Copies of this chain bind each other. A is one copy, B any other.
Amino acid sequence: MTLADKLNAGETVLTAWSTLAAPAVVELLARADFEAVTLDMQHGAHSVDSVHDGILAIAAAGKPAIVRIPVGRNDMVSRALDFSADAIIAPMINSVEDARAFAAHAKYLPVGQRSWGPARALSMRGIQKGQDYLSSANDKTVAFAMIETRAALASLDEILAVPGIDGVFVGPSDFSISWTNGAAVDPHHEEMTEAIADIGRRARAAGKHAGVFVFDAPRTQSYVKMGFNLLSVIHDGAYLSLGMSTMLDQARNG
C-alpha cells in the first residue's frame, strides 16, 4: 500500500524525520516503527546524493519515502519523484502562485507540467511500462504545501483548491515567528493553536491531507484529533540526543 493509499484509506501516518544525511542513519530510521521516513533538504543536511541513496534505504525496509525540498527549489520536486519518492513537502508556500508553481513540478499534464524521466522510480517499483507510471503517478504521489505564515493562512482556501496540491503541512515554528512578527519561536504558542487546528480541519474538509511537524512527541495525538493525518516525530538529532542522555544518566547513576 502506497503512502497515498494509506492516507486515502484514513490511516494516520507517523513519519521519522531525517536531517543527518547519512544512508546508514536513514536505514535505521526506516527499520524503526514509523510508517514513513522524511528526508529533509530544507533545514537538514540532505543533498541530491543523500536523497538518492536515502530513498533506497527506505524502500529496502518497505516504507514510503517523503522528501522536503529547500525553499523554492521546485527542480527537486520532480527529481525526488524520479528517484522514487512517494511524497514531497514544499516549504513556505505562502501564496496561490507558490502553490501552482509547486504543483506544476509535482504532477504530469494535464494537472501540472512535470517532465518525464522516472527511470529509477520504475525500476524501484517494478513497473515495466512508462505509460503505467504516467497514468498513475499523479494519484500515487502526494504533494504537501507547507502552511507556515500568516500570508499562507490567509490564502489557505485558494491553496487547497489548486489542482495537484494533495495536502498541506503545518510548520508550527515558522508559524509562530510569523504570528509574532519575529518576536518569538514557539511551536506550541497558545494563541495560534486554534489557527493550526483550523488548518487541519479545513484541509480535511476540502478532501486534502493535513500534515504537521510535531516538536513534542506527547502532543502528537492532540494534533491527530485536529484532523492531522501525517505527523512527523521531531527529528533524528533529537532521537540521538534523547538516547544519549538517557543512557548517560543510566551509566553515571546506575
Contacts and interface: CB of A to CB of B under 8 A. Distances in A.
Given A24-B20, A217-B251, A243-B242, A185 B131 contact: yes
Nearest to A146: B115
A53 interface: yes
A242 B242 CA distance: 8
Interface string A199-210: 000000000000
A10 interface: no
A125 to B, nearest CB: 11
Contacts of A33: 244-245, 248
Interface stretch (A1-9, A42-50, A154-162, A190-198): A42-50
Q: What is the oligomeric copy number?
A: 6
Contacts of A241: 28, 32, 243
A105 interface: yes
B185 A252 contact: no
Interface string A11-55: 000101001111111011101111000000011111111101100
Contacts of A44: 117
A123 to B, nearest CB: 6
Contacts of A250: 217-218, 220
Given A29-B244, A42-B115, A242-B242, 14 more contacts: A16-B244, A20-B28, A29-B240, A43-B82, A43-B119, A45-B52, A53-B53, A56-B60, A57-B60, A131-B186, A134-B177, A134-B182, A238-B243, A243-B243
